[in-house]
Structure 1
Amino acid sequence: MTRHGPHHIHAGMRPALFMLRNLGTTCIASVTDMAVGYPQALVRRVGHPVMWIGGLVGMLDRRLNTPDATPAKRRANGLVASVLIVSVPTATAMLVDHAIRRVLPRWLALPLTAVLASSLVAQRSLHDHVEAVAIQARDSLPAARRAVSHIVGRDPEQLDMAGVLRAATETLAENFSDGIVAPLLWMAAGGLPGAVFYKSVNTADSMIGHRTPRHEAFGCAAARLDDLVNLPASRLSALWIILAALSMKGMGARDALRILRRDARRHRSPNAGWPEAAMAGALGIRLSGPRAYNGVSVAEPWVGDGPATLRPADLCRALALYRRACLIQTLAGVTATALLARASRRRRSNACL
C-alpha cells in the first residue's frame, strides 16, 4: 500500500474539512437562532447585519440612481451597485472569518463563527411575527391588520380577515425559503461569508428589485441575481414542507406534492411559488390570488384548490407545519455533519496506513 506524506494528507483532506466546518457552523447557527433569535437589545445598541447591508444599498441607490439618468445608464449603474452590495459585505465577512480562525483555537472559533452567522437566519423572528398575526386575528380585524403590516408589502387596510390570514401564511411560506433555508444552504456551502453573500443579494432585491419607475432599470441586476441564488433553496424548502406534512397528522403530503407540481410555476415569482404551493397543498387551502399594492389591484392566480376563507386556526396549523419543517432541516444538517465527520475519520485512518 502506498504511504502518503503529511502534506499530501493535508491537501487531500482540505475540501472535506472545509465542508465539515461549514456544516458544523450551519447546524450551530440554526439551533442558536431557533433557541434565542437575535436579541432586541443588540438591535437597539448596534443594529442588525441586514440593517448594515441596507445602509449600503440605500447609499448606492441615492448616489447612482439619479432621476436624470437614462434607463440604460440606470441599468448599468444598478449592475455596479449590485457588485458593490455583494462584494463589500462578503469580503468583510471573509476577513472576520479568517481573523477568528487565526486568533482563536478551533474549539472556540467554530461556535463563535456560528453564533455570528445565526444573525443571518430568521427562524424565530419569522415565527414570532406570524404568531402575532394569529393572536391578534382572534381579537379584531384592525389589530390583525396592524400585526400583518410588519411582514407584508401589500396594503393591509384593503384586506379582510381572510386576506390578512392568507397574507401571513404566504409570508411564512416564502420567508421559510429566503429567510431560513437559503441562508443556511449558502452557509453550508461557504460558511459565514457564504451566508453574508446570500443576505446581501436578498437585501438588495428587497430594497431595489422592484418594478417601479424608480427601480425597474436600476434594480434589474439585483432582482435577477436574487432569482438565481434563491432557486435551489426554494426547491429544497418545498421538500422540507412535504416531509413535514408527511410526519404530521392532519396534513396532506400527497396534496402538497400535487399542488406543487400543478401551481408552483404559475406563481408570479419563479421561486416563491414552490414553498407556497407546498404549504397550500399540505394545509388544504388556497393562497395568492388577487391583491393590492399601493392601491393598485394585481390579478394573481390562485395557488391550491382548498378554501380561501382562512381562519386563525389555519394560520396556527401553518405555524406548526413551519416548526416541523425547520426541525427536519436541522436534523438533516446534523445527520449530514455526522456522516461527513465519520467519512473524514475513516479517510484519515486509511491515509495513515
Structure 2
Amino acid sequence: MSFTVALFALAIEAVAGYPDWLFARIGHPVTWIGALIAALDKRLNLERDSFAMRRAKGGAALIALAVIALVAGMLIEALASALPYGWAILGLLSSSLIAQKSLNDHVAAVARALSLSLDDGRREVGKIVGRDVTLLDGPGVARAAIESLAENFSDGVVAPALFLAVFGLPGALLYKAVNTADSMIGHKSERHLAFGWAAARCDDLLNLVPARVTAGLIVAAAWAIGAPAREAYETARRDAGKHASPNAGWPEAAMAGALGLALGGPRAYHGMEVEGATLGTGRRDATQADIASALKIYRCAAAGLWLIVLAAALFSVR
C-alpha cells in the first residue's frame, strides 16, 4: 500500500503544494521538526562541554529525534489504516513531506525576478540557498538557482518519495527529521562541528541511494527532451566525487552536463569563502534561459519518478 500512498502524495503535492493558508494556521511538519531540533540544540549543545561530550549529546539528540519521528509515523499509519480510504488520508498527510511544486515555483520565481533586475534575482535566490547572495552577479544567481534545483530535487522530492514508498510514513518522517537536522546543525561551524556530526553523517547515509537515483532521472530526462544525456551521465560519473558532499555532487553534476554548464566553484557562507569544486566543463555564464531549461529537465525527471512509483504500485498489487 505504501507505493500507492506515495503516488497519491506526489499527485496531491504536484497540484496543490502546501497551501499558504494552512502554513499560516498550523505551520509545516518541517517547522515542527525544526523547532524540536532548535530546542535540543539550545538545551544540550553547551560550550562548556568537551568536544567528545558535545558529539555524544548530538548523537543522543539525533536518536531522540528519530524515535519521535518513527513513533509519530507509526501512530498516524495505525489510525489511518482503521479508517475508510485510509490510504488516501495517508497520501494527503504525506504530501506535506514532498516539495516538487514549491521547488519548481521558487526556482521559476528566480528566473522571473532576474528578468527584472539583478537585485530582484538576488532576493529570490536568497530564499532557496544558504550562501551569501549579495555579491552574486547575474550568472551567479542563475547558477545558484540551478544548483539548488538539482540538489533539492534529491533532498526534497526523490528521497522523501522513495522513503515513503518503501518504508511508509514512518520512513518518510525519519528521513525528513534527519535531513532537517543536517540542514540546521550538520554544518562545520564552531558551534555545530561536534554536536551536528551525527546528523551530517546520518544524512549522508540516507541520501546515498536517492542522490544517485536523482542523477539517473536527470540523465533520463535529458535524453527524453533531446538534451545531451551522454554528457550528463559522463559529467556525473567524472565530477560527482569532487563535491564536498558524497551525495549532492551527483544531481548537480548531472544537471551541469545536461545544460552544458560549469556549476559549483567558490561561494561565500556567512562571510566565509568556501572553495567548492567545479562540476562540468561548460559555460559559467548561466542565464535565465538555462534556468528554464533546468526546470524543463526537472519536470521531466519528476515525471520519471512518478513512473517508477506507479510501476512499483502496480507490481505490488499483483
TM-score, reference length from structure 2: 0.99
Residue-pair matches, total: 318
Give the root-mean-square deviation of aligned CA atoms. Answer: 0.8
52-61 vs 91-100, which deviates more? Answer: 91-100
By how many angstroms is 1:340 displaced? 2.5
Q: d(CA) in 1 for partners of 2:163 and 2:316?
A: 18
Q: Which residue of 2 aligns with 1:265?
A: 241
Equivalent in 29, 43, 46 of residue 63 of structure 1: 43
Q: d(CA) in 1 for partners of 2:304 and 2:59?
A: 37
Q: d(CA) in 2 for partners of 1:89 and 1:232?
A: 21
> Given the alignment of the two structures, is residue 184 of structure 1 paired with residue 161 of structure 2, yes or no?
yes
Equivalent in 164, 170, 173 of residue 196 of structure 1: 173
Q: d(CA) in 1 for partners of 2:312 and 2:50?
A: 50
> Given the alignment of the two structures, is residue 164 of structure 1 paired with residue 141 of structure 2, yes or no?
yes
After TM superposition, list the pairs within 5 Å mapping 1:61-210 onto structure 2.
61-102=41-82, 104-105=83-84, 108-210=85-187
CA displacement 1:220-270 (0-9 Å, x = unmatched)? 000000000011000000011011011003x11000011011101111110
By how many angstroms is 1:325 displaced? 0.3
By how many angstroms is 1:339 displaced? 2.3
By how many angstroms is 1:299 displaced? 1.4
Partner SS state of residue 193, structure 2: coil
CA displacement 1:11-70 (0-9 Å, x = unmatched)? xxxxxxxxxx01001100111111111101110000000000001100000000012111
CA displacement 1:138-186 (0-9 Å, x = unmatched)? 1100000000110001101021111111011000000000100000111
> Given the alignment of the two structures, is residue 319 of structure 1 paired with residue 295 of structure 2, yes or no?
yes
Q: d(CA) in 1 for partners of 2:234 and 2:76?
A: 45
List runs of 5+ in structure 1 lacking aligned partners. Answer: 1-20, 343-353
Q: Which amino acid aligns with 1:81?
A: A
Identity %: 48
Higher alpha-carbon Rg: 1
Q: d(CA) in 1 for partners of 2:260 and 2:119?
A: 26
8 Å Cα contact 1:114-1:192 kept in structure 2 = no
Q: d(CA) in 2 for partners of 1:332 and 1:189?
A: 12
Partner SS state of residue 244, structure 1: helix
Q: d(CA) in 1 for partners of 2:253 and 2:118?
A: 26
Q: Which residue of 2 aligns with 1:301?
A: 277
By how many angstroms is 1:283 displaced? 0.8
Q: Which residue of 2 aligns with 1:45?
A: 25
By how many angstroms is 1:282 displaced? 0.7
Q: d(CA) in 2 for partners of 1:130 and 1:47?
A: 22
By how many angstroms is 1:89 displaced? 2.1
Q: Which residue of 2 aligns with 1:7?
A: none
Q: d(CA) in 2 for partners of 1:134 and 1:96?
A: 39
By how many angstroms is 1:218 displaced? 0.3
Runs of 4+ in 1 over 6 A off after TM superposition: none
Q: Which residue of 1 aligns with 2:209?
A: 232
